[in-house]
Chains A and B, each alone.
Chain A
Amino acid sequence: MTGKPKIALYWCSSCGGCEESVIDLAEDLLTVTAAVDIVFWPVALDFKYKDVVAMNDGEITATLINGAIRMGEQEHMAKMLRKKSRLVIAHGSCAHLGGVVGLANFYRREDLLSRLYQEVPTINNPQGILPQLETIESGRKVKLPDFHDTVKTLDQVVEVDYTIPGCPPTPELIKEAMMMVLEDRLPPRGSVLAEKKALCDTCPRRDSKPDKLRITEFKRVYETEWDPEKCFLAEGIICLGPATRGGCNARCINANMPCRGCFGPTDDVRDQGAKSSSFLASIIDVTDKEALKKIVDAIPDPGGLFYRYGLASSILKGKMTRGRS
């Protein structure tokens, strides 16, 4: 063991994209690994759970956890890593806001399980067995982690010191976060390590935005062709850039697609989805009832659009049912 700072990386309920974003550091990964000791990274390196448990509390300088918390095992790991780490950094949209996996909060656990294990046409489960916490297999008791009722963000389970936002975060932001840790120049605790202002501030199409924005029709991207130089909102295409923290290098915009909000809200906004629907509603330039209905109907899945990344962290958090935790 050297005296270098220790870093751990862990994944919870996620797609693996955040892990990939670390790999996307490319040569910079070498710079980072030269400066630190990676002590735990299940997706890439062969350290064991017991190795970490054996460490002293606070021995790890920083742990990056990506993914939301849905399983008992994830909660356990998060809590264990919290104990062992000086800093816990939420890495990516799922850890930060619940992410796409958080959309599952629109359904109850029972509905998800029965759909997945009993109803989908491709399932072959004639006895209709649902996942169990324990089972006897060849005379041995096998345990499975439990499946929580609700998807939670990392900071709903453990204290989080910093957040690197994005689905996935850019390699630049990951590298900068690492350097902040190494060079001891971290901003106040709780900060989201990206821009302070919303995306419009750095949007390459900023100058094409009209001074008075008014929308009479929402167009979906498959329905229309748009000017690749012009502000999406000015073209009637929903873009959540104004309600989304900047710092993503406008990746989607540069790929000629509107912002979907993965960096989450800015510091002073409590609920990104509510803000998004509120700002869009305020620029609808229609008063006639029929026309209003038409324009609202042009958004078939408002939950999926406005809360794509932020449902688990929103005020309502999902479909409310009695007794839900």
Chain B
Amino acid sequence: MAERIGVYVCECGPNIKDAMDLDEVVTFVQGLENVVLTKAFGLLCAQEGQELIGKDIKEHDLTRVVIAACSPKEHEKTFRQCLEKAGLNPFLLQIANIREQCAWVVKDKSLATDKAKAIIHAAVRRVAYHEPLEVKEIACQPHALVVGAGMAGISAALTLAQKNRKVYLVEKLPCIGGKVACYEDVFPSLECASCILDPILDEVLHNEHIEILTLTEVQEVLGFYGNFLVKVTKKARFVDTETCIGCGACLETCPVTVKNEYNEGLDERKAIYIPYAGALPNVAAIDKKHCLRWQGEACSACREACPFGSITYEDTDQVRQLRVGAIVLATGFDLFDPARAPQYGYGKVEDVYTSLEFERLVNSTGPTQGKIVLRNGQVPEKIALVHCVGSRSGKFHEYCSTVCCMYLLKFAHQVTRQLSGVSILGFYSDLCLPGKEAQGFFNKISQEGNIQWLHMKEPDSIEITQADGKTLIRFTDVHGSPREVTSDMVVLAPAMEGARDAGAMAQIFDISQGAGEGFFAEENSQIAPVSTAIEGIFIAGCAQGPKDIQSSVAQGQAAAGRILSRLVPGEKLALEPVTAEVDEDLCCGCKLCVGLCSYKAITCDNLKNNVAINKVLCRGCGTCAAACPSGAIKAHHFTDTEVSEEIRGLLRQG
């Protein structure tokens, strides 16, 4: 192989120069096969260094370049651009890292000199086999799909819409706003939740760029970043959203009464319903499962009562195909079911509530119009707040749900404000109060009312039972002593888990989920928290992990930002040039690679009996190439030849 390789050894100030015998290194490199030019230089990354390389490439007809300097993470891009400017394909470069991997870690000068020689030899052997790679571009669709219209989803949608992107906002419920819309107040400001939320929801409802699809679920996703094709089913509402004004006349005449899931089952609703007072859009919906017309009866009470002729029994489910470039999954959370841990008495002891039930109980649009009362209608004198139900537990979830301490403090405030003289028992084993506001909030609420803090030994050192009409709480305190108290009402703070249907979503979108807790797995928890292994599919809010409103909004906006920065209308999407490729003449169709690809990039053609790798989706991770049993998949830039030559060079074999 007759390549003309230029090798540049960077002194990197004293970093490399002082750590080894550079003259010896240069002399060694000069004697290597194909090397036509070897130069040591003070600081290659500086302008003069880059200019020198560019000039040499042209003057000496270099066909390959090796830079012996710092880590490729630091300057590979710089030097690739340098090659490109000089008319050489940027992938005909190899970096020999003699700083981080040699100068900085080998103390003995002669050992460092030997090691630098080996590293450069490896690079010289490898670069001779580099192939020029081309960066391809494809046209992309700038529209986006947001799944879930809670805080994270609407934040993403609004941010995208600000830049005039068309956003499809898909929500499986008849109304938008997510869990926050069910709260009375929010912590730590203790502002009224609907005062914060309603203007935002109005903005979403009236934004010309956002198309809201309520009662809608995603069925199937095809395609890839920049070009997704998403099939959604919009369930029939049987009420015309254009003409219904939410007057509620239909609700009064409907003869069917069922448990109201929007009030956590604490009261009842009709078969035609508005989820809760103030739900947006303020439009009724018919619950087909319970409406008499679908049970074979000829009821039309709601249609008769409707003053606007808005009832449309003939509605059918609609399937739609949405073309979008990127997707944000903001499907939120559900609570751990405390009945799974019988010690909490949930479902057996009458006045044990989950936090979401209590949110509705204390809400002015809730089942008691915000009055905190027991199931028998009496006003409680003592209320127990139990932290970490299913969180931080060896049995259920190891993680802390991060918001429970804060909302239980909010509950303490709401209780104290409403019921003078009430006593509050706080059962905790540790308090989680991070950040700039939480400790102050705790200090403020602790002084406000009559709160007795009961420090438990473990998060679950507690048992709640019913005894003599009273709720009896036995617990082990922090010193290990058994204690017991009674309470009228108990509010549990169950762990946050990924939404119940997150598993199905994960399958549809082919993204990973954490084991057991149901949250979607991010690409990297530190530096890529809103992207996933599938390019173009982002996650935001509690779908990614437990978090408060502030963080959910931030993630929604972050996901939108990622989309806005890359999917620019009219611009093309640059594809990863370091990808894998299948040699159809060698592929035997064993299909082993198909299930291994994290990016869904490999498809199987059973008729042709081979596989194909989608260049847009492939990120060049190399998993398939390593697994391909017949060597039919080649990972560009990491071919067997390149890697084995590199190893030979490192071992200084001839």
Please list the residues of chain A having a beta carbon within 8 angstroms of any beta carbon in chain B. 196-201, 206-207, 209-214, 240-243, 246, 265-270, 275-276, 278-279, 282-283
Check A198–B640 contact: CB distance below 8 A.
no
Our pick among A198, A211, A213, A214 for the contact of B630 (Cβ within 8 Å) is A198
Q: What is the bound-complex CA distance between A211 and B610, given in angstroms?
A: 11
Our pick among B588, B596, B632 for the contact of A283 (Cβ within 8 Å) is B596
Check B630–A243 contact: CB distance below 8 A.
yes
Check A282–B630 contact: CB distance below 8 A.
no
User: Is B303's CB within 8 Å of the partner chain A?
Assistant: no
User: Is B341's CB within 8 Å of the partner chain A?
Assistant: no
Q: What is the bound-complex CA distance between A303 and B569, given in angstroms?
A: 56
Check B586–A242 contact: CB distance below 8 A.
no
Q: What is the bound-complex CA distance between A210 and B590, given in angstroms?
A: 9
Check B585–A283 contact: CB distance below 8 A.
no
Check B604–A268 contact: CB distance below 8 A.
no
User: Is B482's CB within 8 Å of the partner chain A?
Assistant: no
Q: A214-B595, A268-B640 are in contact. Are A276 and B589 (CB under 8 A)?
A: no
- Of the A-B pairs whose beta carbons lie under 8 Å apart in the complex, a sample of 5, sorted by A's number, is A197-B587, A199-B588, A209-B591, A242-B590, A266-B630
Check A211–B589 contact: CB distance below 8 A.
no
Q: What is the bound-complex CA distance between A200 and B590, given in angstroms?
A: 6
Q: What is the bound-complex CA distance between A199 and B586, given in angstroms?
A: 11
Please list the residues of chain B having a beta carbon within 8 angstroms of any beta carbon in chain A. 583, 585-592, 594-596, 604, 606, 609, 623, 626-632, 634, 640, 644
Check A266–B595 contact: CB distance below 8 A.
no
Q: What is the bound-complex CA distance between A246 and B588, given in angstroms?
A: 9
Q: What is the bound-complex CA distance between A199 and B629, given in angstroms?
A: 11
Q: A211-B595, A282-B596 are in contact. Are A198 and B590 (CB under 8 A)?
A: yes
Check B595–A206 contact: CB distance below 8 A.
no
Q: What's the least CB distance linking A281 to chain B, in Å? A: 8
Q: What is the bound-complex CA distance between A283 and B591, given in angstroms?
A: 11
Our pick among A197, A266, A278 for the contact of B626 (Cβ within 8 Å) is A278
Check A213–B591 contact: CB distance below 8 A.
yes
Q: A198-B590, A200-B588 are in contact. Are A268 and B609 (CB under 8 A)?
A: no
Check A198–B629 contact: CB distance below 8 A.
yes
Our pick among B587, B594, B604, B627 for the contact of A278 (Cβ within 8 Å) is B627
Q: Which residues of B are found within 8 Å of A242, using beta-carbon distances?
A: 588, 590, 592, 629-630
Q: Which residues of B are found within 8 Å of A243, using beta-carbon distances?
A: 629-630
Interface centre among B606, B609, B630, B631 (most CB of A within 10 A): B630
Our pick among B594, B631, B644 for the contact of A275 (Cβ within 8 Å) is B631
Interface centre among B588, B606, B640 (most CB of A within 10 A): B588
DSSP majority for the A interface? loop
Q: What is the bound-complex CA distance between A282 and B604, given in angstroms?
A: 18
Q: A265-B631, A268-B631, A269-B630 are in contact. Are A213 and B588 (CB under 8 A)?
A: no
Q: What's the least CB distance linking B317 to chain A, in Å? A: 30
Check A198–B588 contact: CB distance below 8 A.
yes
Minimal Cβ-Cβ distance residue in B for A272: B629
Q: What's the least CB distance linking A250 to chain B, in Å? A: 12
Check B590–A241 contact: CB distance below 8 A.
yes
Q: Which residues of A are found within 8 Å of B594, using beta-carbon distances?
A: 211-212
Q: What's the least CB distance linking B516 to chain A, in Å? A: 13
Q: Which residues of A are found within 8 Å of B640, using beta-carbon distances?
A: 268, 270
Check B631–A206 contact: CB distance below 8 A.
no
Q: Which residues of B are found within 8 Å of A196, using beta-carbon distances?
A: 585-586
Known contacts A200-B590, A267-B586; 12 further A-B pairs (Cβ under 8 A): A197-B586, A197-B630, A206-B589, A210-B591, A211-B591, A242-B590, A246-B588, A265-B630, A268-B631, A270-B644, A275-B629, A282-B623
Q: What is the bound-complex CA distance between A183 and B644, given in angstroms?
A: 38
Q: Which residues of A are found within 8 Å of B634, using beta-carbon distances?
A: 268
Q: What's the least CB distance linking B640 to chain A, in Å? A: 7
Check B631–A279 contact: CB distance below 8 A.
no
Check B632–A282 contact: CB distance below 8 A.
no
Q: What's the least CB distance linking B612 to chain A, in Å? A: 13
Q: Which residues of A are found within 8 Å of B629, using beta-carbon distances?
A: 198, 240, 242-243, 269, 275-276, 278-279
Q: What's the least CB distance linking B643 to chain A, in Å? A: 11
Minimal Cβ-Cβ distance residue in B for A195: B588
Q: What is the bound-complex CA distance between A280 and B632, given in angstroms?
A: 16
Q: What is the bound-complex CA distance between A67 and B155, given in angstroms?
A: 72
Q: Which residues of B are found within 8 Å of A198, using beta-carbon distances?
A: 588, 590, 629-630
Q: Which residues of A are found within 8 Å of B591, using beta-carbon distances?
A: 209-213
Q: What's the least CB distance linking A283 to chain B, in Å? A: 6
Q: Which residues of B are found within 8 Å of A201, using beta-carbon distances?
A: 588-589, 609
Q: What is the bound-complex CA distance between A240 and B629, given in angstroms?
A: 9
User: What 10 A-B pairs come out closest when comparing CB atoms?
Assistant: A268-B631, A212-B595, A243-B629, A242-B590, A198-B588, A242-B629, A201-B588, A198-B630, A282-B627, A269-B631
Our pick among B588, B592, B596, B623 for the contact of A197 (Cβ within 8 Å) is B588
Q: A198-B590, A270-B640, A282-B623 are in contact. Are A213 and B631 (CB under 8 A)?
A: no
Q: Which residues of B are found within 8 Å of A246, using beta-carbon distances?
A: 588
Minimal Cβ-Cβ distance residue in B for A239: B590
Q: Which residues of B are found within 8 Å of A266, using beta-carbon distances?
A: 586, 630-632
Check B626–A209 contact: CB distance below 8 A.
no
Check B631–A282 contact: CB distance below 8 A.
no
Q: Which residues of B are found within 8 Å of A283, using beta-carbon distances?
A: 592, 595-596, 627
Interface centre among B583, B595, B606 (most CB of A within 10 A): B595
Check A213–B592 contact: CB distance below 8 A.
yes
Check B627–A279 contact: CB distance below 8 A.
yes
Check B589–A279 contact: CB distance below 8 A.
no
Q: Which residues of A are found within 8 Å of B585, using beta-carbon distances?
A: 196-197
Minimal Cβ-Cβ distance residue in B for A279: B629
Q: What is the bound-complex CA distance between A282 and B585, given in angstroms?
A: 23
Q: What is the bound-complex CA distance between A209 and B591, given in angstroms?
A: 8
Q: A201-B609, A206-B609, A242-B630 are in contact. Are A211 and B604 (CB under 8 A)?
A: yes
